[in-house]
Amino acid sequence: MTNNSTTDQSSLPLGEMSEGQRGNLHNYILGIADNSLILGQRLGELCGHGPSLETDIAGTNISLDLFGQVRSYFQYAAQVSGDDTVTEDTLAFMRIEREYKNVLLVEQPNTDFGYTIVRQFLFDAYHLLFLRELEKSTDETLSAIAKKSIKEVSYHWRFSSDWIRRLGDGTSESHERVQEAVTDLWMYTDELFHQTEADQAMIAEGIGVDTSKLKDIYYKMISDVLEEATLEIPVGKYFHKGGKQGIHSEHMGYILSDMQYMQRTFPNMEW
Amino acid sequence: MSEKEVKNLEEIFEARIARDEKIEPKDWMPEKYRKTHIRQISQHAHSEIVGMLPEGNWISRAPSLRRKVALLAKVQDEAGHGLYLYSACETLGISRNELYEQLHSGKAKYSSIFNYPTVTWADMGAIGWLVDGAAIINQVPLCSTSYGPYARAMVRVCKEESFHQRQGFEIMLKLANGTPEQKEMAQDALNRWWWPSLMMLGPTDAESVHTEQSMKWKLKRKTNDELRQQFIDQTVPQADLLGLTIPDPDLKWNEETGHYDFGNINWDEFWQVVKGHGPCNKERMNARVGAWKRGAWVRDAAMAYAEKKEARKKVSKAS
């Protein structure tokens, strides 16, 4: 994968970027990657505990795809940082909670299969729309990662939206359970479109995705499936955000103490 | 069918096995053959599924992204093995739900080794290296067993298992060549997993109740003791390569036999774990039964949805 290019439409080679530009690009990449990292971690917790062997395998598959994407993003972010001590693993395991930039949605717990699927569904729709735009980025590395990820995330979306239909239009119990999860997790959807400073700087450079343009189509995309699944579309006007600025829910500390356990207990070792 | 006819069929059947022909699901087979295969294949499938739990225990704490991805993929492979083994078993006329029911009620067994806890990261290495190593020794001969669906499933299982074993050995190698803490972690894992791995190859030949019949049907090609010796002979040089010490003071090379002599296995411990009183028997069963119960509404929803969809299709066809 290359990240340097001299064509007119492409972003500056790393060596020609100012420190501020590099910093923004670095933060921008982490903002994308951390969503996949934390969602992948949450799905990984479920491996071996799914409602059926088939769903277990599918959930693990999605987790694997997300971690694969994380590695590509972090390897690139490490390169952008210009600091030799930064690696994919220091980025994954050695930051403090306030430095993680994932949205609140992905850190929500695996309350039951309904919550797990709704969390996935609400994220997948955004993720797919986002990657389709990121593929057009002037940054060739990000564009290449997006291109590869689109194939995977199209499958994630198909999997989660199919399950929304099954659970919504299945039994009365499944309908109630999945409706509750939709209603509860809805308040985390707006944050997906919240733009940080790094986001805005990257949009201006032609590297980042202008997520404000994706919002309407996102809500239409998920509403169509919810309707088909005979579920009510929540009318809640109150939303939560903060994850992108590193202000997370109380769940995040526990995710990190689990995820960082080895690196914190045995620092500076290779595994 | 008269007794004579059955006897005739049995003779034809045994002759086919002797000629190394594969028995396929629709072929006539003695009832005992069918039952023995259901028992063994399902026990194997259950072992894969329960075996996901001790390793799944370290997915969220894997020490690097590379290791996390490899571990996830490995545990997923085990789920896949479970899936094709259950499918192979279903060809013998039993449903997956019945098989789960046998596991959950304690009627069916799974490999006892998974009732030991995974307490450090090095256990991921030791399980891959030793447990998968012992499993391969057990399973390679099954690739040519007489029952077709089982033999074919085993070809794929064995390929993946040998990849897992190399991966486990590589985790151990990294630890053994790492810091003193890492090396200690590796040695500690070997100390804890060595004896259970030897027990995994089954009771001694004198105690093994199924060996003779299983040999005849090629469900078994070597006895438990022969397999255990093969495992020890193969593993000792690997431990030397790692610079780790096998926790058996009686272990030594015997020039005369061309094999390693080894110390006494604590069979009381083996039977304690087999009978359900190992360190994690209860946790493992609770995890399996719990996941199954918690997932009931999900499976019901999927069935109800499929039925509704089918009914709608019929209505739209009729109109």
pTM of the model: 0.95
Among the partner-chain residues A41, A60, A166, the one whose CB lies closest to the CB of B302 is A166
State whether B62 and A262 contact (CB < 8 Å). Answer: yes
pLDDT at A1 over 50: no
What is the average pLDDT across B121-142?
A: 96
State whether A71 and B62 contact (CB < 8 Å). Answer: no
State whether A259 and B52 contact (CB < 8 Å). Answer: no
A173 touches chain B (CB under 8 A): yes
Give tens-digit pLDDT for A27-53.
Answer: 999 999 999 999 999 999 999 999 999
Token pair of B240, please? 């030397």
CA B176 to CA B170: how far, in whole Å? 10
* Residue A162: closest C-alpha in chain B: B302
Query: Amino acid letter at B150?
Result: Y
Interface size between A and B, measured as CB pairs under 8 A: 137
Give tens-digit pLDDT for B158-195.
Answer: 999 999 999 999 999 999 999 999 999 999 999 999 99
What is the average pLDDT across B200-222?
A: 86
Please tell me the predicted confidence (pLDDT) of residue A9. Answer: 60
Enumerate residues 131 to 160 of chain A having a beta carbon within 8 A of any beta carbon in chain B. none
Query: Amino acid letter at A176?
Result: E
Please tell me the predicted confidence (pLDDT) of residue A17. Answer: 87
Give percent above pLDDT 70 in chain A.
96
State whether B68 and A177 contact (CB < 8 Å). Answer: no
Three-state secondary structure call for residue B31: helix
State whether B304 and A174 contact (CB < 8 Å). Answer: yes
* Residue A43: closest C-alpha in chain B: B60
Give tens-digit pLDDT for B27-49.
Answer: 999 999 999 999 999 999 999 99
Contact criterion met (CB below 8 Å) for A71 and B65 = yes
User: Which candidate in A45, A65, A111, A174 is best for mutational testing of the B interface (most B CBs within 10 A)?
Assistant: A174
* Residue B81: closest C-alpha in chain A: A53
A90 touches chain B (CB under 8 A): no
* Residue B173: closest C-alpha in chain A: A271
CB atoms near residue A151 (< 10 Å): 10
Among the partner-chain residues A47, A55, A67, the one whose CB lies closest to the CB of B69 is A67
pLDDT at A14 over 90: no
State whether B83 and A67 contact (CB < 8 Å). Answer: no
Please tell me the predicted confidence (pLDDT) of residue A260. Answer: 98
A167 touches chain B (CB under 8 A): yes
State whether A262 and B60 contact (CB < 8 Å). Answer: no
State whether B301 and A63 contact (CB < 8 Å). Answer: no
A170 touches chain B (CB under 8 A): yes
Residues of A in contact with B49 (CB under 8 A): 48, 53
Three-state secondary structure call for residue B252: strand
Residues of A in contact with B68 (CB under 8 A): 44, 67
pLDDT at B211 over 90: no
Domains of chain A as residue ranges with CATH: 18-265 (1.20.1260.10)
The runs of H, that is alpha helices, within chain A are 19-45, 53-81, 88-93, 104-107, 113-134, 140-168, 172-185, 197-204, 215-228, 251-259, 261-265
CA A270 to CA B178: how far, in whole Å? 7
* Residue B84: closest C-alpha in chain A: A53
What is the average pLDDT across B45-62?
A: 98
DSSP A144-178: HHHHHHHHHHHHHHHHHHHHHHHHHTS-HHHHHHH
Among the partner-chain residues B49, B76, B298, the one whose CB lies closest to the CB of A51 is B298
State whether B302 and A74 contact (CB < 8 Å). Answer: no
Residues of A in contact with B182 (CB under 8 A): 266, 269
Confidence of residue A236 (pLDDT cuts 50, 70, 90): confident
pLDDT at A7 over 70: no
User: Which candidate in B283, B298, B303, B312 is best for mutational testing of the A interface (most A CBs within 10 A)?
Assistant: B298
Q: Is the dihedral of CA B26, B30, B31, B34 positive or negative?
A: negative
Q: Please name which of B233, B261, B249 lies closest in space to residue B191, comparing C-alpha atoms.
A: B249
User: Which candidate in B42, B47, B297, B307 is best for mutational testing of the A interface (most A CBs within 10 A)?
Assistant: B297
Among the partner-chain residues B60, B64, B303, the one whose CB lies closest to the CB of A44 is B60
Give percent above pLDDT 90 in chain B.
90
Give tens-digit pLDDT for A188-233.
Answer: 999 999 999 999 999 999 999 999 999 999 999 999 999 999 999 9
Contact criterion met (CB below 8 Å) for A160 and A153 = no
pLDDT at B108 over 80: yes
Residues of B in contact with A60 (CB under 8 A): 72, 75-76, 79
* Residue A172: closest C-alpha in chain B: B301
The C-alpha angle A180, A248, A143, rounded to 5 degrees, equals 90
Confidence of residue A2 (pLDDT cuts 50, 70, 90): very low
Using CA atoms in the order B15, B20, B21, B23, what is the torsion angle rounded to 10 degrees?
A: 80
Give tens-digit pLDDT for A165-198.
Answer: 999 999 999 999 999 999 999 999 999 999 999 9
State whether A68 and B69 contact (CB < 8 Å). Answer: yes
Judge residue B42's burial from the number of C-beta atoms within 10 Å of its C-beta, 0-12 exposed, 13-18 middle, 19 or more buried: buried
Among the partner-chain residues A47, A51, A270, the one whose CB lies closest to the CB of B178 is A270
Confidence of residue B206 (pLDDT cuts 50, 70, 90): confident
Which of B126-135, B215-224, B225-234, B251-260 is predicted with the least confidence, judged by mean pLDDT?
Answer: B215-224
Residues of A in contact with B86 (CB under 8 A): 53
